Structure 1
Amino acid sequence: MVPGRTGQGRHPAPLGDAARDTRAAIREQALAIGFDAVGFAPAATSQAAKQGLTDFLSQGWHGDMGWMAETAERRADPRSLWPHARSVIVLAMNYGPAEDPLDLLRQPKRGNVSVYARNRDYHDTLKKRLKRLARGLVEREGCQVKVFVDTAPVMEKPLAQAAGLGWQGKHTNLLSRELGNWLFLGSIFTDLELAPDTPELDHCGSCNACLDACPTAAFPAPYRLDARRCISYLTIEHKGHIDRALRVALGNRIYGCDDCLAVCPWNKFAQRSAEPDFLPRAELTAPRLADLAALDDTGFRHVFSGSPIKRIGRDRFLRNVLIAIGNSNAAELVATLRPLLDDPSPLVRAMAVWALGRLDTIAFMEERNARIDAESDPAVSAEWSSPDRGSAG
């Protein structure tokens, strides 16, 4: 924890003693209950942020995330979400890893889970602390509050920048000079008038490390993300088959992607998280792909109990695992594929077929001849008809 470093001492507008005491009390309690940064912003979104959202949606870069278009009006204006809002208290928790998460990319027989998902669902941890902080505020001030984590239509990153916590980098994520990239965000809307902190400036300069690191070229331009090409979107939000042209680029990333975050030079100031809920569970840090491929629905729910991974369900998760197996260049994993050629889920069957074609051409042709005529799903039949042969290297 870095008490008082972020979102503090940024010269807010002058305010009276009572308002100053309110801000100080909020900050003191927030740091005491485990937040690493706190700042204050007006309940408003900049015109630049609104235009960025409009452009993102008009380009179709949100992909399957139709809810982003459906909630655009509320997302663009905090007061459309809650008309009584006057100020936003923006809070951050650091989840910085102890090791370089990209090291796992060199272990192709193991799955690489994004750092944020290697333990408990952060939404639960943040929401409990946000509610505790909000209760204290209501008790002291008799005000109204609303608590949000990123499941609500709130543009938390622009609000965090307005509150002085950091800035949206060229990879569109919030980063901080004190905590690097590894930040979870939450917010408390209130009807109190609280003086805002000074917005943080952009400190990316000429650096393009995050853009260059993206395995799927998901950034059409600096500060612009086409989610349809983003591995985090593809492995978490996307419900269907992943485009054949993008599968090899996934490597062994089975849930999310940390590449653009991990290469940021500002991580030299990042702190290793000491929060127990964010420390990695051994079984989620470098799981064996063979073990994951063997999970049925019951096993999946057991292994990922309390994890954000549980939300995507066993079939989508196995889709990701099977792509990683297809990219592993590990012939010994062929045995894990054969049972999944008969899986009830077409999403799983199709990727088992794809992975088999990548790892063993002879086994692929044998299985194809025995199965293709009986296959009823068009996507699975297409994989049998057009194998993606060859090693992932």
Structure 2
Amino acid sequence: MSEISSVDLVELTNNIKAWGRALGFQQVGISDIDLHQHEAHLQAWLGAGYHGDMAFMESHGMKRARPEELVPGTLRVISVRMNYLPPDASFAKHLNTPELGYISRYALGRDYHKVLRKRLKQLGEKITHALSHTAYRPFVDSAPVLEHAIAEKAGIGWTGKHSLTINKEAGSWFFLGELFINLPLPVDTPLEESCGSCTACLTICPTNAIVAPYKVDARRCISYLTIESDKDIPESLRPLMGNRIYGCDDCQLICPWNRYADITSEEDFHPRQVLHGQSLITLFSWSEETFLANTEGSPIRRIGFEKWQRNIAVALGNAPYSKAHMAILNARRGLVSDMVDRHIDWALNAQNTKRQALQSTLNRQQQRLIRAVEKGLPRDA
């Protein structure tokens, strides 16, 4: 590639940011590829086993912190963010209705991987059109990339104590994407970390997965348990999951900076009604064919029907006792797999325990009523 003047690089950078905004990204930043300061933290995290069964995290080793090893010739990373919070934020209320299935907000619309990757590719094509012989490669949570560290260096935001990227003007309800490129573009300035003494995300985490500021033990994280893990969910964690059947948003819901979160303009990220606020009974009743049809183009589809049923079985066990919950659990037993049946059996036991507790409460109330009536009767009655 022929030499490009610094003036031309500045102009190209300004154009890249303008093109990115026109493509629907709310922010575009540029970072260098020196991430060595994150290697020790990454190694310690892997060494502690916090990645759980996500073998791909360990197999790539330090490549995550070395962009030039992932894509030889890379000189800069263009980092982008795209908001996904819809105008109707009622999804948060579903946590207070245990009979409904709670799905992490990011997964209620179209698969963000597809949306962002397509736009990043278009951005790369615009750059190539402006400057031939440019080499680029887009990534959207699909390769060994330290996306939050890159976003931090690119001035998109800072890494919060929950390990997600936060922006003062936009909160954290946004997706990240990266474009590795072989141009020595001028880089942006990282933002100042602004979590201060706040520990709300650590306190609110249902399973205490945020074991220390900036350190998440994935093995306890509900997002990991419901999405990444292919195994039985540990029984000790099941009661803590509530009605969360796909992912968890608690650490974002509590974050003070999300008072300033921007609303998305992308219709693709608006909630699908077939997933939004549906009862656990309705979701658990789906056949595999219905599941595949209703999750087409959704990130939920990748967990598969078996894990979908496993997750909902746990939520039904956590739901208030009802004959309907017992009936659907019994009806689904033996239809999917041994793993699902084990979770159904746990849920049935949990429902039975609640039924017995409810019956005991009713019995005590009945006895108190009888005694009160007896005290008010005439002596010769």
- State the TM-score, normalized to the length of structure 2: 0.89
Deviation at 1:360, TM superposition (A): 2.3
Amino acid in the other structure paired with 2:240: A
3-state DSSP of counterpart to 1:35: coil
Segments of 4+ in structure 1 off by > 4 A?
none
- 2:108 and 2:272 in contact (8 A); partners too: yes
* Paired residues for 1:4-15 under 5 Å: none
Q: Counterpart in 2 of 1:358?
A: 350
- How much has 1:361 moved relative to structure 2? 5.2
Give the distance between the partners of 2:9 and 2:209, measured in 1 at CA.
44
One-letter code aligned to 2:61: A
Equivalent residues in 2 for 1:261-340, closer than 5 Å:
261-331=252-322, 332-340=324-332
Give 2:12's match in structure 1, choosing from 19, 22, 28: 22
Q: Which residue does 1:257 correspond to in 2?
A: 248
Equivalent residue number for residue 378 of structure 1: none
**Greater Cα radius of gyration, structure 1 or 2:** 2
- 8 A contact 1:113–1:255 mirrored in 2: yes
Q: Secondary structure at the match of 2:193?
A: coil
Q: Distance in 1 between the 2:191 and 2:354 partners?
A: 58
Note the C-alpha offset of 1:273: 1.2
Q: Please say if residues 39 and 62 of structure 2, whose CA atoms lie closer than 8 Å, have aligned partners that are also in contact.
A: no
Q: What amino acid is aligned across from residue 255 of structure 1 in structure 2?
A: Y
Encode CA deviations 1:115-174: one digit per residue, 9 max, x unaligned.
000011000000110000000111111211111111111001000000000010000000
Residue aligning to 1:68: 57
Q: In structure 2, what is the Cα distance between the partners aligned to 1:257 and 1:113?
A: 7
Q: 1:343 aligns with which of 321, 335, 352?
A: 335
Asked if the contact 2:306–2:336 (Cα under 8 Å) also holds between the matched residues in 1, the reply is no
- Determine which of 139, 153, 156 is the counterpart of 1:162: 153
Segment drifting more, 294-303 vs 242-251:
294-303
Structure 2 SS opposite 1:329: coil
For residue 100 of structure 1, report the CA deviation from its aligned partner: 5.4
Query: 1 CA distance for matches of 2:319 and 2:353?
Result: 15
Taking the aligned partners of 2:43 and 2:357, their CA distance within structure 1 comes to 41
Give the match for residue 375 of structure 2: none
Would you say the 8 A contact 2:26–2:83 is kept in 1? yes
Question: Using the alignment, how far apart are the partners of 1:246 and 1:104 within structure 2?
Answer: 20
Give yes or no for the alignment of 1:171 onto 2:183.
no
Q: Equivalences for 1:123-272 in 2 at 5 Å?
A: 123-142=113-132, 143-272=134-263
Offset, 1:390: 6.5
1:367 aligns to what? Answer: none
Q: CA deviation at 1:341?
A: 2.0
Q: Number of paired residues?
A: 351
The answer (yes or no) to whether the contact 1:35–1:91 under 8 Å persists in 2 is yes
Distance 1:59 1:16 in 2: 44
CA contact (8 A) 2:202 2:211 kept: no
SS at match of 1:120: coil
Q: For 1:190 and 1:362, how far apart are their aligned partners in 2?
A: 58
Partners of 2:104 and 2:286 in 1: how far apart? 20
- 1:384 paired residue number: none
Deviation per CA, 1:54-75, whole angstroms, max 9, x where unpaired?
1110000000100000012321
For 1:361 and 1:327, how far apart are their aligned partners in 2?
A: 11
CA distance in 2, matches of 1:50, 1:254: 33
Structure 1 residues 293 and 69, CA, compared in 2 at 3 Å: closer, same or farther?
Answer: same
Q: Name the amino acid aligned to 1:264.
A: C
Whether the aligned pair in 2 keeps the contact of 1:357 and 1:390 (CA below 8 Å) is: no
1:158 corresponds to which letter in structure 2?
Answer: A
The alignment's TM-score, normalised by the length of structure 1, stands at 0.87
Q: Which amino acid aligns with 2:44?
A: D
Distance 2:307 2:167 in 1: 33
Amino acid at match of 2:275: L
How far the C-alpha of 1:16 sits from its partner, in A, is 2.9
- What 5-or-longer segments of structure 2 have no aligned partner? 359-381
User: How far apart, CA to CA, are the structure 1 residues paired with 2:135 and 2:344?
Assistant: 52
* Percent identity over paired residues: 40
**SS of 1:88 mapped into structure 2:** strand
Residue 112 of structure 1 aligns with an amino acid whose one-letter code is Y
Cα distance in 1 for residues equivalent to 2:316 and 2:131: 56
Q: Per-residue deviation at 1:362? A: 11
